[in-house]
């Protein structure tokens, strides 16, 4: 069942979203050659807890980190570790903050130092595919309209969309109904209504969409070893334009 958020719930989600945004900013500022993904995890956790929130991801389903830190060919669910980031790497940081029982969820892919032109284009296309989809996160459209917008934009730019993993509702649980695929499946999906909160998150592969799950049972990687990028915001559907809970005042990370 899809939850329609009350005014009080929305206020808590705005707080959670603002802290999630701040954590991404803090991590962005810490990224440079020589840092480890565990270093970045600690930056995010310190920021989130300093704001009176808890880390949504830590312990979720047994996940050991406060962020997912996915490097290069890792698409999603990278576990923070002593892996050192090098010049030219890209790293996707997915993070959530929980405020009084309500979650924010967002992701960005960052370059480490100077990155290749193709890596820059992959990151830019992944980001823009989110904003193509955002046009349909409005009353009267269906979930499939969001899915179509992501897939068509990504594939028109020569990249591919990860299958079997998708966006979702967000609120009192980190993952709620409905599922929000980044590709068209078998149905049109539910009609979108004001008060819904959706985490829309394109996951885009430079090469083919084929993937495998690493031996740690979490990290999803491209089978061809090519790069991947990830972009996500938590969205509040209103009676007008959608509100980005994890981009306060429309400011990009």
205-232: pLDDT as tens digits: 999 999 999 999 999 999 999 999 999 9
Question: pLDDT for 51-81, tens place per residue?
Answer: 999 999 999 999 999 999 999 999 999 999 9
Decide if 27 contacts 40 (C-beta within 8 A): yes
Q: Is the peptide bond before 176 cis (omega within 30 degrees of 0)?
A: no
Helix H or strand E encompassing 132: helix 117-134
Whether residue 251 lies inside any domain: the answer is no
**Phi, psi (5° rounding) for residue 136?**
-110, 5
Total-model pTM: 0.97
The torsion region of residue 81 among left (phi > 0), alpha (psi -120 to 50) and beta comes to beta
**156 half-sphere exposure, CB direction, 13 A CA radius:** 10
Instruction: Write out pLDDT tens, residues 117-127.
Output: 999 999 999 99
| Domain range enclosing 197 | 7-245
Instruction: Determine if residue 100 is left, alpha or beta; phi over 0 gives left, psi from -120 to 50 gives alpha, anything else beta.
Output: left
What is the tally of structural domains in the chain? 1
Q: The domain spanning residue 154 has which CATH number? A: 3.90.230.10
Average pLDDT, whole number, for the chain?
A: 97
Question: 140 in a domain, yes or no?
Answer: yes
């Amino acid at each position: 069942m899809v939850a329609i958020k009350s005014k009080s719930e929305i206020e808590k989600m705005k707080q959670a979203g603002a802290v999630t945004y701040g954590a991404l900013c803090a991590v962005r500022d810490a990224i440079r050659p020589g840092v480890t993904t565990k270093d970045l995890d600690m930056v995010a956790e310190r920021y989130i807890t300093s704001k009176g929130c808890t880390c949504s991801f830590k312990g979720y389903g047994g996940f050991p980190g406060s962020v997912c830190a996915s490097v290069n060919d890792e698409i999603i669910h990278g576990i923070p570790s002593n892996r050192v980031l090098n010049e030219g790497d890209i790293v996707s940081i997915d993070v959530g903050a929980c405020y009084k029982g309500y979650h924010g969820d967002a992701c960005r892919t960052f370059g480490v130092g100077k990155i290749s032109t193709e890596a820059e284009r992959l990151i830019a296309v992944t980001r823009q595919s989110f904003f193509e989809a955002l046009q349909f996160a409005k009353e009267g459209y269906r979930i499939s309209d969001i899915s179509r917008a992501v897939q068509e934009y990504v594939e028109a730019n020569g990249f591919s969309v990860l299958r079997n993993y998708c966006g979702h509702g967000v609120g009192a649980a980190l993952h709620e109904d409905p599922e929000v695929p980044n590709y068209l499946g078998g149905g049109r999906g539910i009609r979108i209504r004001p008060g819904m909160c959706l985490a829309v998150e394109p996951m885009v592969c430079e090469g083919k969409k084929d993937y495998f799950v690493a031996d740690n049972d979490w990290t999803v990687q491209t089978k061809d070893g090519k790069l991947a990028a990830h972009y996500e915001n938590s969205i509040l559907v209103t009676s007008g334009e959608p509100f980005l809970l994890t981009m306060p005042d429309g400011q990009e990370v």
